[in-house]
């Protein structure tokens, strides 16, 4: 092979190498020129051995130069291709750290749950246990045992949601002794109208001393309006012991009010009537919005009505088999929605049950 063909060879090698770089793979060119068996360069070197003696030196040197040239350029091209691939990869995987983060939507507790949890925490700190009772009740636990005689207006179909079926089996929690079967046969069942029925069930199953709060849903035949819903929730409180007094009742409720509504809160006890307590009282709390001065919130009175309470009536103790000579106690019932309404200044009770996120998202804690 003469030097002219070597020049041609170099030219076509360069062209093929450029194409290989553009295609991103120099291996085929490397194989074609440097392949051990019949690469172009390998053959070139073999040809030198069979050339006439006088040409060998020159052709050998030229072939070796070309080999070196090919090796260097293939290596260089491979590096160029590798770097280009690297650049393309990092371009594809580039992270834009300046983009704003995407926040996941976090759920949170319903405002009524927040209030109930807070109330439970306050009473738990005062040593109260938290108990529950069934929402489907019988008349005895909801009315009779609470000293509400058959002719009591609260038992009326107008107020109470009675159920068609008689009392189901023994599915109650907490379980307690029940009125005897004969009497039970003609008991009507109903959705409980207040959590006071839990007092009865708990006393049937436990001996004094007792210190419980019992949260739960209650049901009444009310139409929906700003202040009424057919379902709402209450928290019942009951303390029974050997020397429990009205002073204890006042102190307990005041401690609760100050924790829930602020340290400056005052309470006002107004004489009232409930069949299951004697004496009975309705309790107002000093308006926390105006501190009692009178504002729109308290309708200028300085007071907000918050709960009913009293000393447990001896007839209630008799119904559950406690000795009314030995034990005294106090009880109260407080509306959880009512506390939430006062606490958050909500003017429509229905908002708590409509699940409108625009409302619920205002109570993130
Ligand atoms: N049960 C009453 C109601 O639903 C609230 C109540 C008043 C509960 C006085 C009591 C109490 O335990 O002593 O309106």
CA angle 328/334/338 to nearest 5° reads 165
Mean pLDDT on 20-46 = 93
What is residue 166's predicted lDDT score, i.e. its pLDDT? 55
What is residue 185's predicted lDDT score, i.e. its pLDDT? 52
Distance 243 CA to ligand 1 centre (A): 22
What is residue 316's predicted lDDT score, i.e. its pLDDT? 98
What is residue 107's predicted lDDT score, i.e. its pLDDT? 86
In this model, does residue 173 exceed pLDDT 60?
no
In this model, does residue 172 exceed pLDDT 50?
no
**Alpha carbon nearest to ligand 1 atom 9, residue:** 309
127 CB-near residues (< 8 Å, 6+ apart)? 211
CB of 195 closer than 6 A to ligand 1? no
Mean pLDDT on 190-205 = 96
Mean pLDDT on 255-263 = 95
In this model, does residue 352 exceed pLDDT 70?
yes
Pick the more confident residue, 186 or 114: 114
Which atom of ligand 1 sits closest to the CA of residue 312?
A: 13
Rounded percentage of the chain residues whose pLDDT exceeds 70: 93
Q: How confident is the model at residue 175 (pLDDT cuts 50, 70, 90)?
A: very low
Mean pLDDT on 242-267 = 96
Residue to probe by mutation, ligand 1, list 146, 195, 196, most atoms within 8 Å of CB: 196
In this model, does residue 155 exceed pLDDT 70?
yes
Q: How confident is the model at residue 176 (pLDDT cuts 50, 70, 90)?
A: very low
What is residue 116's predicted lDDT score, i.e. its pLDDT? 97
Alpha-carbon gap, residue 234 to 213, rounded angstroms = 10
Alpha-carbon gap, residue 283 to 281, rounded angstroms = 6
What is residue 33's predicted lDDT score, i.e. its pLDDT? 95
The model's pLDDT over 104-154, given as tens digits with 9 standing for 90+, comes to 888 889 999 999 999 999 999 999 999 999 999 999 999 999 999 888 887
Which atom of ligand 1 sits closest to the CA of residue 195?
A: 1
The model's pLDDT over 66-76, given as tens digits with 9 standing for 90+, comes to 999 999 999 99
**Helix, strand, coil share (%) of the chain residues, nearest 5:** 45, 20, 40
What are the two backbone dihedrals, phi and then psi, of residue 314, each rounded to the nearest 5 degrees?
Answer: -55, -30
In this model, does residue 64 exceed pLDDT 90?
yes
Q: How confident is the model at residue 174 (pLDDT cuts 50, 70, 90)?
A: very low
CB of 249 closer than 6 A to ligand 1? no
Handedness of CA 146, 147, 153, 157 (dihedral sign): positive
Mean pLDDT of the chain: 90
The model's pLDDT over 231-248, given as tens digits with 9 standing for 90+, comes to 999 999 999 999 999 999
Helical spans, DSSP H, in the chain: 3-23, 27-34, 40-49, 53-92, 111-125, 139-142, 181-184, 196-205, 246-261, 314-319, 336-344, 357-360
What is residue 168's predicted lDDT score, i.e. its pLDDT? 53
Q: What residue has token string 């050998």?
A: 60
- Sorted by where each begins, the domain ranges of the chain are 3-92, 111-360
**Alpha carbon nearest to ligand 1 atom 8, residue:** 333
CB of 330 closer than 6 A to ligand 1? no
Distance 19 CA to ligand 1 centre (A): 92
Q: Name the residue among 313, 272, 334, 315 with its Cα closest to residue 128.
A: 334
Q: How confident is the model at residue 11 (pLDDT cuts 50, 70, 90)?
A: very high
In this model, does residue 198 exceed pLDDT 90?
yes
Which atom of ligand 1 sits closest to the CA of residue 276?
A: 13
In this model, does residue 86 exceed pLDDT 90?
yes
Strand duo 231-241 + 136-138: pairing: unpaired
In this model, does residue 159 exceed pLDDT 80?
yes
Q: How confident is the model at residue 167 (pLDDT cuts 50, 70, 90)?
A: low
CB of 329 closer than 6 A to ligand 1? no
CATH architecture of 111-360: 2-Layer Sandwich (3.30)
Distance 276 CA to ligand 1 centre (A): 8
Indicate the range of 85-89, 295-299, 310-314, 324-328 predicted with least confidence: 295-299
Alpha-carbon gap, residue 361 to 59, rounded angstroms = 88
CB of 232 closer than 6 A to ligand 1? no
Residue to probe by mutation, ligand 1, list 217, 317, 332, 337, most atoms within 8 Å of CB: 332
What is residue 152's predicted lDDT score, i.e. its pLDDT? 84
Residue to probe by mutation, ligand 1, list 309, 312, 314, 315, most atoms within 8 Å of CB: 309
340 CB-near residues (< 8 Å, 6+ apart)? 111, 112, 114, 115, 346, 352
């Amino acid at each position: 092979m003469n030097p002219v063909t070597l020049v041609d060879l170099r030219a076509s090698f360069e062209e093929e190498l450029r194409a290989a770089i553009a295609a991103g793979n120099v291996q085929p060119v490397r194989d074609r020129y440097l392949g051990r068996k019949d690469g172009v360069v390998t053959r070139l070197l073999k040809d030198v051995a069979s050339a006439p003696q006088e040409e060998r030196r020159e052709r050998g040197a030229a072939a070796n130069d070309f080999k070196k040239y090919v090796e260097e350029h293939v290596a260089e091209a491979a590096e160029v291709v590798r770097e280009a691939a690297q650049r393309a990869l990092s371009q594809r995987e580039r992270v834009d750290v300046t983009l704003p983060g995407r926040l996941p939507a976090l759920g949170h507790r319903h405002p009524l749950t927040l209030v109930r949890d807070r109330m439970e925490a306050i009473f738990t700190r005062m040593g109260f246990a938290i108990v529950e009772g069934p929402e489907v009740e019988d008349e005895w636990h909801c009315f009779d045992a609470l000293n509400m005689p058959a002719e009591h207006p609260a038992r009326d179909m107008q107020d109470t949601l009675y159920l068609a079926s008689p009392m189901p089996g023994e599915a109650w929690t907490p379980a307690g002794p029940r009125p005897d079967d004969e009497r039970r046969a003609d008991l009507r069942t109903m959705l409980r109208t207040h959590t006071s029925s839990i007092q009865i069930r708990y006393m049937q199953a436990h001996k004094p001393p007792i210190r419980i709060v019992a949260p739960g849903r209650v049901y009444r035949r009310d139409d929906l309006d700003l202040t009424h819903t057919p379902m709402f929730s209450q928290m019942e409180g009951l303390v029974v012991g050997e020397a429990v007094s009205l002073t204890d009742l006042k102190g307990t409720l005041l401690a609760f009010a100050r924790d829930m509504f602020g340290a400056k809160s005052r309470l006002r006890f107004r004489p009232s009537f409930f069949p299951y307590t004697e004496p009975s009282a309705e309790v107002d709390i000093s308006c926390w919005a105006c501190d009692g001065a009178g504002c729109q919130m308290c309708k200028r009175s300085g007071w907000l009505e918050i709960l009913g309470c009293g000393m447990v009536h001896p007839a209630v103790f008799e119904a559950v088999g406690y000795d009314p000579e030995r034990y005294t106690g106090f009880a109260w019932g407080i509306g959880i929605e009512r506390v939430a309404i006062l606490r958050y200044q909500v003017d429509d009770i229905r908002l708590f049950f409509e699940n409108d996120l625009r409302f619920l998202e205002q109570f993130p804690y």
